[in-house]
Structure 1
Amino acid sequence: MQTILGSGGAIGTPLAKELKAYTDKIRLVARKPVQVNGDDELFPADLTNAADVDRAVAGSEVVYLTVGLEYNINVWRRDWPVIMKNVIDACVKHNARLVFLDNVYMYAKSEIPHMTESSTIAPPSKKGEVRAALHHMLLQAKGLQALIARSADFYGPGVKNGMLTITVQEEFKKGKRAYWQLDANKIHTFTYTPDAAKGTAILGNTPDAFGQVWHLPTSSEKLTGKEFIERIAAGMQVKPKYYILSRFMMGLIGLFVPIVKEIKEMSYQYDRDYIFDSSKFEKRFNFKPTTYAEGIPASIGS
């Protein structure tokens, strides 16, 4: 049995499909889980409830924690430590290996132009502090076999909450200008969700991958925000019009739009090049990430 905690969403759904290559017993756990393969075991649960998590993990060989919480620092501080403790305790009790899908928020500002698995952990944001604490909880847990599968910002088919979707694709669909944070001339890396799902499944089924941090496969192409906007506009057959969302504008808009207030503290990821290096994974598994020339049209067409 392989179990996905937080089975819906950008990675949970394609991950369920990828796991069919390794097992015919897949358990999908969420508040309201939905079938992916047609024969998945659906297990409704609240991950902040220890008893629910214990029952959800029981009988599992590998557990994938891919849940996405509301993008709100108060929710993160309240729920993430509880969820992680519940999952660690259940995995240790039931002797299940744990794969945690993570992001890059815990890395120091100085690491953003070239992030690797050995990048310094010194988060400059409140959300990053939460993520750093989860990183340490996981790797220091006694009796636990675990790994961290880390990703850059997402893009891909069906992705609703990715920055490219929200700030570019959806705005063009509305007939509006796209927008980019701070500086559209900086390089920004994006991880293609089908690659991330495939990589997560590979890691979960590779025993010697545990005990390590892995960057999920991500194209090494160096495109700027402006170039992403132009490519998406060309694919959607619209003019590549956009404006820059400054920190001042974020502060002003954030007074009325909560999500903008939440992203302001992460804006440092856009005032410099943001390059995510997945060469460790690519070399270990002989994996070639999807190019943007392939991924962007697939994302637009979804």
Structure 2
Amino acid sequence: MKRALVIGASGGMGYSIVKELSNRGIQVNAFARNRVKLDKLFHNDPNVTICSGDIFRLADLDQAAKDTDIIYQSANLPYSEWKEKLPIMMSNILQTAEKHDAKLAIVDNIYVYGRSKGKEVRETTIKNPNTKKGRIRLDVENMVMQSNVAALIAHFPDFYGPYAENTILNYTLNNIVNDKKASFVGDQNIAREYIYTKDGAKAIVNLSLHEQAYGETWNIPGYGVISGKELIQISREHTGFQKNVSTVSKNMIRFLGLFNRQMKEVVEMFYLNEDPVVLNGEKYEKLIGPVPRTPYSEGLKDTIDHMKRSEVLQ
């Protein structure tokens, strides 16, 4: 691969994919709407070309995709826009990939699997989403797999890491870093799976460099499961944070949803805090080798240090 396009390059996974590719000496077109943020993130990286534009404008995507071999799709939309805009967004990306004869590697979540019922989820697990958002994601997945584009879809648990701002853990970590009253979404005693964005980026780039990976879906697990209490304790030890961390319950989110459309959409996904989905990575390991897995203690410390540096620079 000589040149790649990363769509959604200013987000947590997009940023990490850009840096992973650049670190391998690959030229990268970093695409997102906000040019100021892209400049801030990548202005000193000689392997990165800034490409600001609108993902809903085919002309913008077409310009960004010139001379690229692989397109990495990591952009996302607010929950409330999924039904109307997610299929359009993916259609634009597929058209662009087909026009430029580029392969496509897609960052996806775990919503298509629905409830796990306590079982580890494999790629062969029947996808039976129990939410509207899961069904939308499954429809988009089918659109991709039925297209003429050589594509792979990587399913990840919830992210955390540098610039992963719109994530469930960032909601907690941001207040801890700023020494403010913090909250954790869901029962702090229930163990869930998360993935460090730098690990996720390594995994999807590894997959994208193997021809056998295309036309398939892949599960990329994190560093096992961890409870909210354990996550908070690691964060306390690294920051000296001493304030109480309260619990955000489903009823609290439901109440906030009466006044905030985005919070109303979050209620539907709360089942993941009650019946966590845990991914099995054996398929990846058979093709590639060990899944990149950074211990939570290291990943959280790096994320917190990055957040502190970002606060200083602002």
TM exceeding 0.5: yes
1:62 counterpart residue number: 70
| Counterparts of 2:182 and 2:19, CA distance in 1 | 35
Map residues 238-277 of structure 1 onto 2, 5 A cutoff: 238-239=241-242, 241-277=244-280
2:194 counterpart residue number: 190
Structure 1: where are the runs of 5+ without partners?
Answer: none
CA contact 2:183–2:248 (8 Å) conserved in 1: no
How many residue pairs match? The answer is 297
| Counterparts of 2:173 and 2:62, CA distance in 1 | 41
1:41 aligns with 2:49: yes
1:30 aligns with 2:32: yes
1:52 aligns with 2:60: yes
Map residues 150-165 of structure 1 onto 2, 5 A cutoff: 150-165=155-170
Tell me which amino acid in the other structure corresponds to 2:305. G
Between 127-136 and 23-32, the greater mean CA deviation after superposition: 23-32
1:216 counterpart residue number: 220
Q: Please list the CA deviations of residues 199-257 of structure 1 after superposition, one character each: whole Å capped at 9, or x if unmatched.
A: 1211222222111111235212x322222222222222223733332222221122223
Secondary structure of the 1:63 match is: strand
1:16 aligns with 2:18: yes
Tell me which amino acid in the other structure corresponds to 2:172. T
CA contact 1:172–1:178 (8 Å) conserved in 2: no
Q: Offset of 1:104 from its aligned partner?
A: 0.7
Structure 2: where are the runs of 5+ without partners?
Answer: 307-314
Q: Offset of 1:59 from its aligned partner?
A: 2.2
| Counterparts of 2:269 and 2:238, CA distance in 1 | 28
Selected match of 1:80 from 86, 104, 111: 86
1:146 counterpart residue number: 151
Between 154-163 and 22-31, the greater mean CA deviation after superposition: 22-31
2:112 counterpart residue number: 106
RMSD over aligned Cα atoms: 2.1
Secondary structure of the 1:42 match is: strand
1:132 counterpart residue number: 138
Secondary structure of the 1:109 match is: coil
Between 244-253 and 144-153, the greater mean CA deviation after superposition: 244-253
1:167 aligns with 2:172: yes
| Counterparts of 1:98 and 1:239, CA distance in 2 | 45
Q: Offset of 1:196 from its aligned partner?
A: 0.7
| Counterparts of 1:283 and 1:235, CA distance in 2 | 36
Q: Offset of 1:179 from its aligned partner?
A: 2.5
1:176 aligns with 2:184: no
2:284 counterpart residue number: 281
Q: Please list the CA deviations of residues 53-107 of structure 1 after superposition, one character each: whole Å capped at 9, or x if unmatched.
A: 23332322111111121x232x112221111111112212221100111111111
Tell me which amino acid in the other structure corresponds to 2:79. N
Selected match of 1:233 from 220, 233, 236: 236
- Alpha carbons of 1:262 and 1:174: their partners in 2 closer, same or farther (altered >3 Å)? farther
Tell me which amino acid in the other structure corresponds to 2:191. I
1:7 counterpart residue number: 9
- Alpha carbons of 1:153 and 1:112: their partners in 2 closer, same or farther (altered >3 Å)? farther
